Amino acid sequence: MSAIITFIIVFGVIVTVHEFGHFYMAKRSGILVREFAIGMGPKLVNFKKNGTTYTLRLLPLGGYVRMAGTQDDDDEIKPGTPASIAINDQNVVERINISKKNPYVNDLPVQIVKADLVDKLEIVVYENGDESQEKTYHVDHDATIVEEDGTEVLIAPRDVQFQSASLLNRILTNFAGPFNNMILSIVAYLLVAFMLGGIPEAHTDTNQVNIAPDSAIQKAGVKQNDRILEVNGKKTSTYNQVQKAVASNKKKQVELVVKHKDNVRQIKVTPQKQKNSDKKLIGISPKTTVDRSFGAKLKYGFTQPFVIVATIIGILGNMFTTGFDLNQFGGPVAIYSLTSQVSTQGIISIISFIGMLSINLGFMNLLPIPALDGGKLLLNFVEGIRGKPISEEKEGIVNLIGVAILVTLMIAVTWNDIQRFFIH
Protein backbone atom coordinates (compact mmCIF):
# COMPACT_ATOMS: atom_id res chain seq x y z
CA MET A 1 0.00 0.00 0.00
CA SER A 2 2.84 2.42 0.85
CA ALA A 3 4.35 1.78 -2.60
CA ILE A 4 1.03 2.59 -4.30
CA ILE A 5 0.55 5.79 -2.29
CA THR A 6 4.15 6.86 -2.94
CA PHE A 7 3.75 6.14 -6.66
CA ILE A 8 0.58 8.25 -6.86
CA ILE A 9 2.19 11.14 -4.96
CA VAL A 10 5.47 11.06 -6.92
CA PHE A 11 3.82 10.76 -10.32
CA GLY A 12 1.17 13.32 -9.38
CA VAL A 13 3.71 15.92 -8.23
CA ILE A 14 5.90 15.56 -11.32
CA VAL A 15 3.05 15.72 -13.85
CA THR A 16 1.21 18.54 -12.04
CA VAL A 17 4.37 20.66 -11.91
CA HIS A 18 4.96 19.97 -15.62
CA GLU A 19 1.42 20.93 -16.60
CA PHE A 20 1.47 23.99 -14.35
CA GLY A 21 4.38 25.30 -16.43
CA HIS A 22 2.24 25.16 -19.59
CA PHE A 23 -0.72 26.60 -17.65
CA TYR A 24 1.17 29.57 -16.20
CA MET A 25 2.85 30.59 -19.44
CA ALA A 26 -0.35 30.16 -21.47
CA LYS A 27 -2.17 32.47 -19.04
CA ARG A 28 0.65 35.01 -19.29
CA SER A 29 0.44 34.83 -23.09
CA GLY A 30 -3.29 35.50 -23.29
CA ILE A 31 -4.13 31.92 -24.28
CA LEU A 32 -7.34 30.60 -22.77
CA VAL A 33 -6.72 27.58 -20.56
CA ARG A 34 -10.13 25.92 -20.61
CA GLU A 35 -9.30 23.12 -18.19
CA PHE A 36 -6.53 22.14 -15.78
CA ALA A 37 -7.00 18.47 -14.93
CA ILE A 38 -5.26 16.41 -12.27
CA GLY A 39 -5.66 12.74 -13.06
CA MET A 40 -7.30 11.11 -16.06
CA GLY A 41 -10.64 9.48 -16.83
CA PRO A 42 -14.08 10.38 -15.43
CA LYS A 43 -14.46 13.68 -13.58
CA LEU A 44 -14.86 13.53 -9.79
CA VAL A 45 -15.08 17.21 -8.82
CA ASN A 46 -14.55 20.53 -10.55
CA PHE A 47 -14.68 24.27 -9.94
CA LYS A 48 -14.22 27.32 -12.17
CA LYS A 49 -11.96 30.29 -11.42
CA ASN A 50 -10.62 33.11 -13.61
CA GLY A 51 -11.86 31.45 -16.80
CA THR A 52 -10.32 28.03 -16.14
CA THR A 53 -12.15 24.93 -14.97
CA TYR A 54 -10.10 22.86 -12.52
CA THR A 55 -10.98 19.16 -12.41
CA LEU A 56 -9.94 16.21 -10.31
CA ARG A 57 -10.35 12.97 -12.24
CA LEU A 58 -10.71 9.36 -11.19
CA LEU A 59 -7.39 7.82 -12.28
CA PRO A 60 -4.57 9.39 -10.23
CA LEU A 61 -2.07 9.11 -13.08
CA GLY A 62 -1.06 12.09 -15.13
CA GLY A 63 -3.03 15.21 -15.90
CA TYR A 64 -3.33 17.77 -18.64
CA VAL A 65 -3.80 21.43 -19.52
CA ARG A 66 -6.43 21.99 -22.18
CA MET A 67 -5.62 25.15 -24.12
CA ALA A 68 -8.10 26.68 -26.55
CA GLY A 69 -7.46 25.76 -30.17
CA THR A 70 -4.92 22.99 -29.61
CA GLN A 71 -5.14 19.54 -31.18
CA ASP A 72 -6.77 18.01 -28.09
CA ASP A 73 -9.38 20.77 -27.80
CA ASP A 74 -12.50 20.22 -29.88
CA ASP A 75 -15.61 22.39 -29.51
CA GLU A 76 -17.49 21.19 -32.57
CA ILE A 77 -21.18 20.56 -31.90
CA LYS A 78 -22.75 18.19 -34.40
CA PRO A 79 -25.98 19.27 -36.14
CA GLY A 80 -29.02 17.67 -34.52
CA THR A 81 -27.49 17.66 -31.03
CA PRO A 82 -30.17 18.20 -28.34
CA ALA A 83 -29.18 20.93 -25.91
CA SER A 84 -30.42 23.73 -23.72
CA ILE A 85 -29.29 27.34 -23.73
CA ALA A 86 -29.29 30.12 -21.14
CA ILE A 87 -30.16 33.53 -22.59
CA ASN A 88 -29.59 36.90 -20.87
CA ASP A 89 -31.71 40.06 -21.02
CA GLN A 90 -29.97 41.14 -24.24
CA ASN A 91 -31.04 37.89 -25.93
CA VAL A 92 -27.42 36.68 -25.97
CA VAL A 93 -26.51 33.07 -25.15
CA GLU A 94 -24.44 32.79 -21.97
CA ARG A 95 -24.42 29.00 -21.62
CA ILE A 96 -24.84 26.01 -23.95
CA ASN A 97 -25.58 22.71 -22.25
CA ILE A 98 -25.14 19.53 -24.30
CA SER A 99 -24.86 17.29 -21.23
CA LYS A 100 -27.66 15.08 -19.99
CA LYS A 101 -26.02 14.98 -16.55
CA ASN A 102 -26.50 18.65 -15.69
CA PRO A 103 -30.04 19.79 -16.49
CA TYR A 104 -30.86 23.47 -15.96
CA VAL A 105 -34.61 23.88 -15.44
CA ASN A 106 -34.70 27.53 -16.56
CA ASP A 107 -32.76 26.95 -19.79
CA LEU A 108 -34.43 26.88 -23.17
CA PRO A 109 -34.50 23.37 -24.73
CA VAL A 110 -33.24 23.41 -28.33
CA GLN A 111 -31.93 21.25 -31.12
CA ILE A 112 -28.75 22.63 -32.63
CA VAL A 113 -28.76 23.19 -36.39
CA LYS A 114 -25.26 24.67 -36.57
CA ALA A 115 -22.91 26.53 -34.28
CA ASP A 116 -19.87 28.73 -34.80
CA LEU A 117 -18.26 29.35 -31.44
CA VAL A 118 -14.92 30.47 -32.86
CA ASP A 119 -15.43 33.32 -35.36
CA LYS A 120 -19.05 34.41 -35.79
CA LEU A 121 -20.04 33.45 -32.24
CA GLU A 122 -23.49 32.39 -33.43
CA ILE A 123 -25.72 29.41 -32.81
CA VAL A 124 -28.66 28.35 -35.00
CA VAL A 125 -31.31 26.22 -33.28
CA TYR A 126 -34.80 24.78 -33.36
CA GLU A 127 -36.63 25.82 -30.22
CA ASN A 128 -38.82 23.53 -28.09
CA GLY A 129 -38.83 20.77 -30.68
CA ASP A 130 -40.29 23.03 -33.39
CA GLU A 131 -38.32 22.26 -36.57
CA SER A 132 -40.42 24.54 -38.77
CA GLN A 133 -38.34 27.63 -38.02
CA GLU A 134 -34.67 28.22 -37.35
CA LYS A 135 -33.62 30.86 -34.87
CA THR A 136 -30.17 32.45 -34.67
CA TYR A 137 -28.66 33.66 -31.42
CA HIS A 138 -25.47 35.60 -30.76
CA VAL A 139 -23.17 33.83 -28.29
CA ASP A 140 -21.35 35.87 -25.66
CA HIS A 141 -17.54 35.93 -25.99
CA ASP A 142 -17.25 34.58 -22.44
CA ALA A 143 -20.10 32.07 -22.67
CA THR A 144 -19.65 28.57 -21.29
CA ILE A 145 -20.43 25.16 -22.70
CA VAL A 146 -21.40 22.21 -20.52
CA GLU A 147 -19.84 19.21 -22.24
CA GLU A 148 -21.21 15.69 -22.39
CA ASP A 149 -19.40 14.57 -19.22
CA GLY A 150 -20.87 17.51 -17.29
CA THR A 151 -17.71 19.67 -17.28
CA GLU A 152 -18.47 23.36 -17.80
CA VAL A 153 -15.75 25.30 -19.63
CA LEU A 154 -15.51 28.57 -21.51
CA ILE A 155 -16.00 28.54 -25.26
CA ALA A 156 -12.87 29.21 -27.31
CA PRO A 157 -13.15 32.26 -29.61
CA ARG A 158 -10.38 32.76 -32.16
CA ASP A 159 -8.65 35.63 -30.32
CA VAL A 160 -7.88 33.52 -27.21
CA GLN A 161 -6.77 30.38 -29.06
CA PHE A 162 -3.23 29.01 -28.94
CA GLN A 163 -2.46 29.85 -32.57
CA SER A 164 -3.49 33.48 -32.04
CA ALA A 165 -0.64 34.04 -29.59
CA SER A 166 2.69 35.32 -30.91
CA LEU A 167 5.26 32.75 -32.04
CA LEU A 168 7.53 33.64 -29.10
CA ASN A 169 4.71 33.13 -26.60
CA ARG A 170 3.82 29.78 -28.14
CA ILE A 171 7.46 28.69 -27.93
CA LEU A 172 7.61 29.75 -24.27
CA THR A 173 4.32 27.96 -23.52
CA ASN A 174 5.55 24.71 -25.09
CA PHE A 175 8.89 24.96 -23.31
CA ALA A 176 7.44 25.86 -19.89
CA GLY A 177 6.47 22.29 -18.95
CA PRO A 178 9.96 20.77 -19.32
CA PHE A 179 11.43 23.93 -17.77
CA ASN A 180 9.28 23.44 -14.67
CA ASN A 181 10.50 19.83 -14.44
CA MET A 182 14.07 21.11 -14.44
CA ILE A 183 13.24 23.58 -11.63
CA LEU A 184 11.52 20.83 -9.62
CA SER A 185 14.56 18.59 -10.03
CA ILE A 186 16.90 21.34 -8.82
CA VAL A 187 14.68 22.03 -5.80
CA ALA A 188 14.47 18.31 -5.00
CA TYR A 189 18.24 17.84 -5.09
CA LEU A 190 18.80 21.01 -3.03
CA LEU A 191 16.45 19.56 -0.40
CA VAL A 192 18.31 16.25 -0.48
CA ALA A 193 21.67 18.00 -0.08
CA PHE A 194 20.60 20.03 2.95
CA MET A 195 18.67 17.16 4.55
CA LEU A 196 21.71 14.90 4.23
CA GLY A 197 23.89 17.59 5.78
CA GLY A 198 26.63 17.08 3.22
CA ILE A 199 27.55 15.76 -0.21
CA PRO A 200 29.47 12.52 -0.70
CA GLU A 201 32.48 13.00 -2.99
CA ALA A 202 33.84 10.02 -4.88
CA HIS A 203 37.63 9.62 -5.07
CA THR A 204 38.69 7.63 -8.12
CA ASP A 205 42.39 8.51 -7.77
CA THR A 206 42.92 5.85 -5.09
CA ASN A 207 42.59 2.08 -4.91
CA GLN A 208 40.67 2.37 -1.64
CA VAL A 209 37.10 1.21 -2.23
CA ASN A 210 33.66 1.51 -0.72
CA ILE A 211 31.99 -1.84 0.03
CA ALA A 212 28.27 -2.38 -0.61
CA PRO A 213 26.29 -4.14 2.17
CA ASP A 214 25.59 -7.85 1.56
CA SER A 215 27.78 -7.78 -1.56
CA ALA A 216 30.01 -10.58 -2.79
CA ILE A 217 33.18 -8.73 -1.79
CA GLN A 218 31.86 -8.03 1.73
CA LYS A 219 31.05 -11.71 2.19
CA ALA A 220 34.63 -12.48 1.14
CA GLY A 221 35.85 -10.45 4.12
CA VAL A 222 36.92 -7.14 2.52
CA LYS A 223 36.33 -4.13 4.79
CA GLN A 224 35.32 -0.54 4.07
CA ASN A 225 38.16 1.55 2.56
CA ASP A 226 40.48 -1.46 2.12
CA ARG A 227 42.94 -1.10 -0.74
CA ILE A 228 42.81 -3.40 -3.77
CA LEU A 229 46.41 -3.74 -4.87
CA GLU A 230 45.92 -6.29 -7.66
CA VAL A 231 43.10 -7.76 -9.78
CA ASN A 232 43.83 -11.07 -11.51
CA GLY A 233 47.58 -10.40 -11.23
CA LYS A 234 47.36 -6.80 -12.55
CA LYS A 235 48.58 -4.04 -10.23
CA THR A 236 45.94 -1.37 -9.55
CA SER A 237 46.56 2.04 -7.99
CA THR A 238 43.30 3.84 -8.82
CA TYR A 239 39.62 2.93 -8.62
CA ASN A 240 39.24 3.21 -12.39
CA GLN A 241 41.96 0.61 -12.85
CA VAL A 242 40.26 -1.67 -10.33
CA GLN A 243 36.88 -1.27 -11.99
CA LYS A 244 38.27 -1.87 -15.50
CA ALA A 245 40.15 -5.00 -14.39
CA VAL A 246 37.09 -6.42 -12.61
CA ALA A 247 34.84 -5.66 -15.59
CA SER A 248 37.18 -7.49 -17.97
CA ASN A 249 37.26 -10.61 -15.80
CA LYS A 250 36.25 -13.72 -17.79
CA LYS A 251 36.66 -16.24 -15.00
CA LYS A 252 34.05 -17.48 -12.56
CA GLN A 253 35.94 -15.77 -9.75
CA VAL A 254 37.96 -12.57 -9.45
CA GLU A 255 41.35 -12.92 -7.76
CA LEU A 256 42.22 -9.90 -5.62
CA VAL A 257 45.18 -8.81 -3.52
CA VAL A 258 43.73 -6.70 -0.71
CA LYS A 259 45.45 -4.57 1.93
CA HIS A 260 43.67 -4.00 5.26
CA LYS A 261 45.73 -1.61 7.41
CA ASP A 262 49.14 -3.36 7.34
CA ASN A 263 47.79 -6.79 6.44
CA VAL A 264 47.99 -7.94 2.79
CA ARG A 265 46.18 -11.08 1.65
CA GLN A 266 44.84 -12.80 -1.44
CA ILE A 267 41.12 -13.53 -1.80
CA LYS A 268 38.76 -14.86 -4.47
CA VAL A 269 35.36 -13.24 -5.07
CA THR A 270 32.47 -14.71 -7.08
CA PRO A 271 30.45 -11.87 -8.71
CA GLN A 272 26.73 -11.89 -7.82
CA LYS A 273 23.91 -11.45 -10.33
CA GLN A 274 21.93 -8.32 -9.57
CA LYS A 275 18.19 -8.23 -9.03
CA ASN A 276 16.28 -7.13 -12.17
CA SER A 277 19.50 -7.21 -14.17
CA ASP A 278 21.80 -9.66 -15.94
CA LYS A 279 24.91 -7.88 -14.62
CA LYS A 280 27.21 -9.66 -12.17
CA LEU A 281 29.01 -7.38 -9.72
CA ILE A 282 31.32 -7.81 -6.74
CA GLY A 283 29.94 -4.75 -4.93
CA ILE A 284 32.54 -1.98 -4.98
CA SER A 285 32.32 1.78 -5.54
CA PRO A 286 34.83 4.63 -5.17
CA LYS A 287 35.95 5.73 -1.71
CA THR A 288 33.81 8.66 -0.58
CA THR A 289 34.17 11.58 1.81
CA VAL A 290 31.46 14.05 2.81
CA ASP A 291 31.71 17.78 1.99
CA ARG A 292 29.46 19.64 4.47
CA SER A 293 30.04 23.16 3.13
CA PHE A 294 27.13 25.37 2.00
CA GLY A 295 28.68 25.75 -1.43
CA ALA A 296 28.91 21.99 -1.95
CA LYS A 297 25.21 21.56 -1.11
CA LEU A 298 24.22 24.39 -3.43
CA LYS A 299 26.41 23.04 -6.22
CA TYR A 300 24.91 19.55 -5.87
CA GLY A 301 21.35 20.87 -6.24
CA PHE A 302 22.15 22.73 -9.45
CA THR A 303 24.51 20.21 -11.05
CA GLN A 304 22.95 16.82 -10.25
CA PRO A 305 20.03 17.27 -12.71
CA PHE A 306 22.51 17.99 -15.50
CA VAL A 307 24.62 14.97 -14.54
CA ILE A 308 21.48 12.90 -15.15
CA VAL A 309 20.85 14.68 -18.46
CA ALA A 310 24.42 13.89 -19.53
CA THR A 311 23.82 10.23 -18.65
CA ILE A 312 20.61 10.16 -20.72
CA ILE A 313 22.39 11.77 -23.68
CA GLY A 314 25.14 9.17 -23.38
CA ILE A 315 22.60 6.33 -23.39
CA LEU A 316 20.80 7.78 -26.42
CA GLY A 317 24.13 8.32 -28.18
CA ASN A 318 25.19 4.72 -27.56
CA MET A 319 22.06 3.50 -29.32
CA PHE A 320 23.45 4.81 -32.59
CA THR A 321 26.56 2.65 -32.15
CA THR A 322 25.36 -0.38 -30.18
CA GLY A 323 21.77 -0.53 -31.39
CA PHE A 324 18.34 0.07 -29.86
CA ASP A 325 17.83 -1.64 -26.49
CA LEU A 326 14.43 -1.60 -24.74
CA ASN A 327 16.15 -2.28 -21.42
CA GLN A 328 17.47 1.29 -21.54
CA PHE A 329 13.88 2.56 -21.24
CA GLY A 330 11.38 2.34 -18.43
CA GLY A 331 7.62 2.94 -18.41
CA PRO A 332 5.03 3.12 -15.62
CA VAL A 333 5.75 -0.48 -14.58
CA ALA A 334 9.46 0.25 -14.12
CA ILE A 335 8.66 3.47 -12.28
CA TYR A 336 6.30 1.60 -9.96
CA SER A 337 8.91 -1.11 -9.31
CA LEU A 338 11.52 1.53 -8.45
CA THR A 339 8.97 3.41 -6.33
CA SER A 340 8.23 0.28 -4.31
CA GLN A 341 11.94 0.07 -3.46
CA VAL A 342 12.33 3.78 -2.72
CA SER A 343 9.19 3.93 -0.54
CA THR A 344 10.93 1.79 2.10
CA GLN A 345 14.08 3.93 2.22
CA GLY A 346 12.72 7.14 3.74
CA ILE A 347 11.74 10.64 2.68
CA ILE A 348 15.20 11.64 1.40
CA SER A 349 15.22 8.75 -1.08
CA ILE A 350 11.71 9.66 -2.22
CA ILE A 351 12.66 13.32 -2.79
CA SER A 352 15.79 12.23 -4.68
CA PHE A 353 13.62 9.91 -6.78
CA ILE A 354 11.31 12.82 -7.61
CA GLY A 355 14.32 14.85 -8.73
CA MET A 356 15.57 12.04 -10.96
CA LEU A 357 12.18 11.32 -12.55
CA SER A 358 11.39 15.01 -13.03
CA ILE A 359 14.53 15.79 -15.01
CA ASN A 360 14.01 12.58 -17.00
CA LEU A 361 10.47 13.61 -17.92
CA GLY A 362 11.52 17.15 -18.73
CA PHE A 363 14.44 16.15 -20.95
CA MET A 364 12.64 13.33 -22.76
CA ASN A 365 9.74 15.70 -23.47
CA LEU A 366 12.17 18.00 -25.27
CA LEU A 367 13.14 15.34 -27.80
CA PRO A 368 11.97 16.44 -31.29
CA ILE A 369 9.31 13.75 -31.54
CA PRO A 370 5.83 14.76 -32.79
CA ALA A 371 3.21 15.01 -30.02
CA LEU A 372 5.91 15.70 -27.39
CA ASP A 373 6.78 19.25 -26.34
CA GLY A 374 10.01 18.96 -28.32
CA GLY A 375 8.05 18.08 -31.45
CA LYS A 376 5.82 21.11 -30.93
CA LEU A 377 8.87 23.32 -30.44
CA LEU A 378 10.35 21.94 -33.67
CA LEU A 379 7.18 22.96 -35.54
CA ASN A 380 7.44 26.41 -33.92
CA PHE A 381 11.01 26.80 -35.18
CA VAL A 382 10.01 25.60 -38.65
CA GLU A 383 7.26 28.23 -38.63
CA GLY A 384 9.81 30.88 -37.64
CA ILE A 385 12.08 29.90 -40.55
CA ARG A 386 9.23 29.69 -43.09
CA GLY A 387 7.53 32.84 -41.86
CA LYS A 388 4.17 31.10 -41.70
CA PRO A 389 2.69 28.18 -39.73
CA ILE A 390 2.33 24.65 -41.06
CA SER A 391 -1.24 23.90 -42.10
CA GLU A 392 -3.49 22.33 -39.48
CA GLU A 393 -3.94 19.23 -41.66
CA LYS A 394 -0.20 18.62 -42.00
CA GLU A 395 0.38 19.32 -38.31
CA GLY A 396 -2.40 16.87 -37.45
CA ILE A 397 -0.82 14.17 -39.62
CA VAL A 398 2.60 14.76 -38.06
CA ASN A 399 1.13 14.56 -34.55
CA LEU A 400 -0.82 11.42 -35.44
CA ILE A 401 2.38 9.74 -36.60
CA GLY A 402 4.10 10.85 -33.38
CA VAL A 403 1.29 9.49 -31.22
CA ALA A 404 1.42 6.15 -33.09
CA ILE A 405 5.18 5.91 -32.50
CA LEU A 406 4.84 6.80 -28.82
CA VAL A 407 1.96 4.35 -28.22
CA THR A 408 3.88 1.55 -29.95
CA LEU A 409 7.01 2.33 -27.92
CA MET A 410 5.01 2.53 -24.68
CA ILE A 411 3.38 -0.86 -25.30
CA ALA A 412 6.77 -2.42 -26.08
CA VAL A 413 8.45 -0.81 -23.05
CA THR A 414 5.60 -1.79 -20.71
CA TRP A 415 5.64 -5.41 -21.83
CA ASN A 416 9.42 -5.50 -21.52
CA ASP A 417 9.14 -4.04 -18.00
CA ILE A 418 6.58 -6.67 -16.99
CA GLN A 419 8.93 -9.41 -18.17
CA ARG A 420 11.94 -7.84 -16.40
CA PHE A 421 10.33 -7.08 -13.06
CA PHE A 422 7.58 -9.66 -12.63
CA ILE A 423 8.11 -12.71 -14.89
CA HIS A 424 11.88 -13.33 -14.73
Domain check: are 223 and 245 in the same one? Answer: yes
**131 assigned to active site:** no
Are residue 396 and residue 312 in the same domain, yes or no? yes
Residues 240 and 350 in one domain: no
* Same domain as 308, residue 217: no
* 121 and 209 co-located in one domain: no
| Final residue of a structural domain among 121, 155, 189 | 155
209 and 321 both lie in a single domain = no
pTM of this prediction? 0.80
Q: Tens of pLDDT along 266-314?
A: 999 998 877 656 677 898 989 888 899 999 999 999 999 999 999 888 8
Mean pLDDT score, 177-183: 97
Does residue 396 fall inside a structural domain?
Answer: yes
Split at pLDDT 50, 70, 90, the class of 70 is confident
Element (H, E) at 40: strand 33-49
Q: Are residues 258 and 300 in the same domain?
A: no
User: Does residue 316 share a domain with residue 406?
Assistant: yes
Does residue 91 belong to any structural domain of this protein? yes
pLDDT at 406 over 90: no
Kindly tell me if the per-residue pLDDT of 2 is higher than 70.
Answer: yes
- Tally the domains of the chain: 3
Using DSSP's 3-state secondary structure scheme, residue 39 falls into strand
Kindly tell me if the per-residue pLDDT of 55 is higher than 90: yes
CA dihedral 283, 286, 288, 293 (to 10 degrees): -130
Nearest to 154 by CA among 326, 31, 324, 271: 31
Could you tell me if residue 328 is inside a domain? yes
Q: Is residue 37 part of a domain?
A: no
Helices and strands in the chain, H and E counts: 9, 17
Q: Is residue 113 part of a domain?
A: yes
Out of 19, 147, 152, 395, the active site residue is 19
Of 92, 125, 155, the position where a domain reaches its end is 155
Residues 334 and 282 in one domain: no
**Mean per-residue pLDDT over the chain, rounded:** 89
DSSP, collapsed to helix, strand or coil, labels residue 175 as: helix
The last residue of one of the domains, among 100, 129, 155, is: 155
**How many Cα atoms sit within 13 Å of 347 on the Cβ side?**
5
In a domain, 166, yes or no: no
Question: Which residues form the domain of 409?
Answer: 294-423
d(C-alpha 364, C-alpha 19), whole Å: 15
How far is the CA of 163 from the CAs of 30, 34, 158, 172, 392, in angstroms? 11, 15, 8, 13, 10
User: Reduced to 3 states, what is the DSSP secondary structure of residue 308?
Assistant: helix
Exposure of 372 by Cβ count < 10 A (0-12 exposed, 13-18 middle, 19+ buried)? Answer: buried
**What's the pLDDT band for 373 if we cut at 50, 70, 90?**
very high
> Is the pLDDT assigned to residue 424 strictly greater than 60?
no
d(CA 323, CA 413): 16
Based on the fold, state whether residues 150 and 268 are members of the same structural domain.
Answer: no
Q: Are 330 and 395 within one domain? A: yes
Q: What percent of the chain has pLDDT over 90?
A: 58
Angle at 409 between CA 401 and CA 324, to 5 degrees: 110
- 299 & 267 share domain: no
Q: Is residue 34 part of a domain?
A: no
Q: Count other C-beta atoms under 10 Å from residue 381's C-beta.
A: 12
- pLDDT confidence band for 163 (50 / 70 / 90): very high
Q: Is the dihedral of CA 357, 358, 359, 360 positive or negative?
A: positive
DSSP symbols for 206-234: SSBEEE-TT-HHHHTTPPTT-EEEEETTE
SS3 content of the chain, % helix, strand, coil (to 5): 45, 30, 30
Asked whether residue 419 carries a pLDDT value surpassing 80, the answer given is no
User: Is residue 49 packed enough to be buried (19+ CB in 10 Å), middle (13-18) or exposed (0-12)?
Assistant: exposed
> Which of residues 331 and 234 earns the better pLDDT score?
234
Residue 418 lies in a domain: yes
